[in-house]
Structures are given as C-alpha cells and as structure tokens.
C-alpha cells in the first residue's frame, strides 16, 4: 500500500511533538534518581527541568527566521539531530555539569523542532486538511503528557534514569531516515532576508530575564529581572518594526485573528498547565492517596484531550476555528470554576467531572486555535507563526508554574507540603483555580474578538 506524502509529514510531526513533550514532562519522574546519582543539591536539582524550558524560550523566535531562510526541512532535520545529540549525551553524562550542558543542547534542538514541524505541516498539507493534520500534532503533545509519567516511571524504576533518554533515540533516528528518504521538498520563505542577529540577542536576553524573573518573583532580584525583561521585550518590538528583515514580523499582530488567537493560547496555557499539579497535591496531601493512585486518576484529562484534539482539528476545517476555540476554552473555564470550590469534602465524582470537562474543553480549544494562528498569516510567514504559538506556549506554561510558586509561598510561607497543612493547600489551590478561571474567560473574549474581526483566514496554497 502506497503511503501518501502528507501522511509522512503528519507522522513525523506527531512523533517529534510527542518526544519533545515526553522528555520535558517525563524527566520530572527521573529527577530524584538523577540528583542522587550526581549528588545534586536542591537548587541544582530544580534546574534540570527549568534550564530546558529557558533554552526553548530563548531559541524559539530565532528558529522561526532561520527555518524560513535556510529551509523548513533542513531546520527540522537540524533540530532532530541536535535533540538526538543532546539525548545521547545525557545517556553518557558523567557529572552534573555535563548533564546540564546536554539538557541545554536538547532545549535548543526542541526549539527548532517545534517551530519547523508545525511550519512543515502548514506548507505540505492541503488547506482543507490543515486543521486535521494540526490536530494529530496536538494529539502527540497530549499523549506524551499523559503517557510520559507512566512510561518514564517504569523505565526509571526498572532500568535506571538513563533509559529515558535511550528510549527516544530510535524514534528520532526513524524520523531522520524518513525525512531524508520520503520528504524531497524544501520550503524557504525568507531566503533573501538577512538574519537579524541584534534582534535575536535582544529577544533572548529579554525573554530570559522575564521568564527567570517571573519564576522567582517573590524575591527582589526576581522583581527586577521581570521588569527588565518586560522593558527589553517592548524595546525588541519597537526595534523589530524598524527592520527590513526582522527576526519576528511584528506587523503580523495587525491581524486581529492572529493576535487574538495568540492571546487566547497564552491565557489557556497559563490557566491549564498548573491544574495537574493542583489536583496531584489534592489527591496526595488532602485525600491521602499514594502517587500511583493519583497518577491513575490524573491520566483522565490528557487522554480525553488526545481523543478530542484530532476530531476538533478536523472540524475546524469546516467550522470557524475560533468559534470552536471559544466554546472549548469556555468549557475549560467551567471546569476550573468547579475546582475553585474544591475542598477535602468534595465528592470524587465532582472532581472527575471537572477533569472530564477540562479534557473536553482543552481538546476542543487547542487544535482549532492553533489552526487559527497558522491560517491567519500568508504561507510565507508560517515559520514565524509557528514560532509565535510555540513562544506563547512556553511563556504560558512557565508563568503558570510561577503562579503556583507565588501563591503557595504567599499562603504557606516556607512550610513544607504535608497533609497536616491540608487547609492551607486547599486555600492556595482555590486561589490559583480562581485566577486560572479568569484567564480562561479572557481567552474566550480573545477568541470572540477574532471571530468578529474582518481579517480573513488564508486558504491558499
């Protein structure tokens, strides 16, 4: 049976999206074992996941211009290769320093991988199938989110933490082989543009200062870095508007559909990323469940998302994607509103109902909203649009985790998480869920603004 060209594109996008998230999420399970192996202290241990996200955030926007200039296929191949090198390096790491260096390499590879895979889907797949194809890419993300703790937990427990990195290697090699043998085309949209080095540096310093500062906002240094990051990013926007070949085309934000969909994405990731942690705390510290039982329940939401995403993406090829996005994030807002009243006496079926609604809502939101972002720009700007949505995801996720730290520090001070402080954990969780509900409502309004906009979606090849 002959496999169509578009099928290879979607498969590669699915696999790369899955494993980019697989290691970024699953590594949390392996952190204690890694820290013990290298005798890391608590501060260094926390850098294992953090340094990865910081590097992804710094490289994502430059990756958009680079992939457009040198070719989306070449950029994706380079991203997979760098990710592969980082994974192999992590397997053979012999010290804390060497391991963190390879985590940095992995982050750089994933930044290019995320941007190029999405751009390649937009370029290669027919517009009438674009939503469906993007839906399968999102499904890869959600499946990795749900399966990575289970798979990584098994690997770490039975084979050691290095097996997590060995596990991804054959899949990355497979993608490289398929890219070389089955994807003959190349897509260059910024071939005549010069690389905006100054803009890339300005953005990198700005986003690094903002994200790192926000995660440490309770400190004076954190406040200073956050403010400095915001100022630098404003300067970056002003600078880019005056460049002939900007690293990020700020004029795209004149399109209300593009802008509103990006704002909705930022609000949604800020609202949803933290929910799993909140529920995990609730199950283990408030209800007294063990980690295995908690994990089995927590898999409900991402599984529903994974089922919903491709169907919602396919539906967004026929129905205005921002209408579906508004409906989806509205359902997620209801789920978070329910969790705002979460206490130790809340019946389990109410919690499960909220998780199901969250899964349906986010599954209905993510693919259509991504389709709206990628379809609201000309085909030549697909790499920039892809970089934009990846940046919104990274910033939203980081701010969500920062919000968790800030609220729990405000409510509990320096107290450790423990069942004896269940009342404080409930108070902090309710506060966070209230803030996240508001973020979802803002995402609904952003989507509605896009619906009413007179700007058109691009449906040309």
Domain residue ranges of the chain, discontinuous segments joined by +: 1-189, 197-242, 252-461
Averaged pLDDT for residues 291-297 = 72
Concatenate the DSSP letters of all residues of 72-134 into one string.
HHHHHHHHHHHHHHHHHHHHT--SHHHHHHHHHHHHHHHHHHHHHHHHHHHHHS-GGGHHHHH
pLDDT one-digit tens code per residue, 231-267: 999 999 899 888 888 888 888 888 888 899 999 999 9
Residue 29 has pLDDT above 80, yes or no: no
Given a cut of 90, whether residue 338 has pLDDT beyond it is: yes
CB proximity list for 70: less than 8 A, separation 6 or greater: 188
pLDDT higher than 80, residue 192: no
**24-35 exposure pattern, b = at least 16 Cβ within 10 A, e = fewer:** bbbbebbbeebb
pTM of the model: 0.80
CA 438/CA 446 separation, integer angstroms: 12
Highest mean pLDDT among 294-298, 405-409, 457-461: 405-409
- pLDDT tens track for 102-122: 999 999 999 888 888 877 887
Question: Residue 312 and residue 429: Cα distance in Å, rounded?
Answer: 30
Please tell me the predicted confidence (pLDDT) of residue 196: 83
Task: Give per-residue pLDDT as tens, 362-391.
Answer: 989 988 888 888 888 887 777 778 778 888
What local confidence, expressed as pLDDT, does residue 365 receive?
92
Do the first three CATH levels of 1-189 and 252-461 match, i.e. the same topology? yes
For residue 460, name the pLDDT band (cuts at 50, 70, 90).
very low
pLDDT(143) > 90: no
Is 90's pLDDT higher than 80?
yes
pLDDT of 250:
84
Q: What backbone phi and psi angles, to 5 degrees, belong to 318?
A: -115, -30
CATH number of 1-189: 1.20.1250.20
CATH superfamily entry for domain 252-461: MFS general substrate transporter like domains (1.20.1250.20)
Q: Give yes or no for residue 1 having a pLDDT over 60.
A: no
């Amino acid at each position: 049976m002959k496999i169509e060209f578009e099928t290879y594109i979607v498969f590669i996008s699915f696999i790369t999206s899955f494993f980019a998230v697989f290691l970024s999420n699953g590594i949390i399970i392996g952190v204690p074992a890694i820290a013990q192996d290298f005798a890391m202290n608590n501060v260094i241990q926390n850098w294992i996941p953090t340094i990865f996200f910081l590097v992804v955030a710094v490289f994502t926007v430059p990756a958009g211009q680079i992939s457009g200039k040198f070719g989306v296929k070449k950029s994706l191949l380079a991203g997979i290769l760098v990710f592969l090198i980082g994974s192999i390096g992590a397997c053979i790491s012999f010290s804390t320093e060497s391991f963190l260096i390879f985590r940095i390499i992995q982050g750089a590879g994933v930044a290019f991988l995320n941007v190029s895979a999405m751009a390649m889907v937009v370029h290669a797949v027919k517009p009438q199938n674009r939503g469906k194809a993007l839906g399968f890419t999102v499904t890869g993300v959600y499946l990795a989110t749900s399966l990575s703790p289970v798979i990584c937990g098994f690997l770490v427990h039975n084979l050691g933490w290095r097996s997590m990195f060995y596990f991804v290697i054959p899949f990355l090699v497979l993608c490289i082989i398929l890219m070389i043998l089955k994807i003959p085309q190349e897509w260059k949209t910024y071939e005549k543009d010069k690389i905006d080095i100054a803009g890339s540096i300005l953005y990198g310093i700005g986003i690094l200062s903002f994200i790192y500062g926000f995660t440490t906002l309770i400190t004076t240094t954190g406040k200073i870095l956050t403010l400095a990051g915001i100022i630098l990013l404003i300067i970056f926007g002003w600078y880019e508007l005056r460049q002939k070949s900007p690293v990020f085309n700020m004029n795209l934000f004149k399109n209300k559909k593009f802008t509103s969909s990006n704002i909705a994405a930022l609000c949604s990731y800020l609202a949803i990323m933290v929910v799993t942690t909140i529920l995990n705390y609730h199950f283990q510290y408030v209800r007294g469940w063990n980690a295995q039982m908690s994990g089995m329940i927590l898999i409900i939401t991402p599984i529903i998302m994974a089922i919903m995403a491709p169907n919602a993406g396919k539906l967004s090829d026929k129905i205005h994607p921002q209408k579906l996005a508004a409906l989806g994030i509205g359902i997620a807002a209801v789920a978070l509103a329910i969790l705002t009243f979460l206490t130790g006496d809340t019946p389990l079926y109410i919690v499960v109902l909220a998780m199901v609604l969250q899964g349906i809502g986010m599954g209905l939101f993510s693919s259509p909203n991504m389709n709206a972002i990628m379809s609201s720009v000309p085909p030549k700007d697909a790499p920039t649009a892809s970089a934009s949505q990846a940046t919104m995801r990274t910033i939203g996720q980081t701010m969500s985790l920062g919000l968790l730290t800030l609220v729990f520090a405000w409510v509990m001070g320096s107290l450790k998480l423990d069942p004896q402080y269940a009342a404080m954990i409930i108070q902090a969780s309710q506060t966070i869920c209230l803030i996240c509900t508001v973020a979802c409502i803002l995402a609904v309004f952003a989507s509605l603004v896009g619906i009413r906009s007179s700007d058109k979606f691009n449906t040309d090849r």
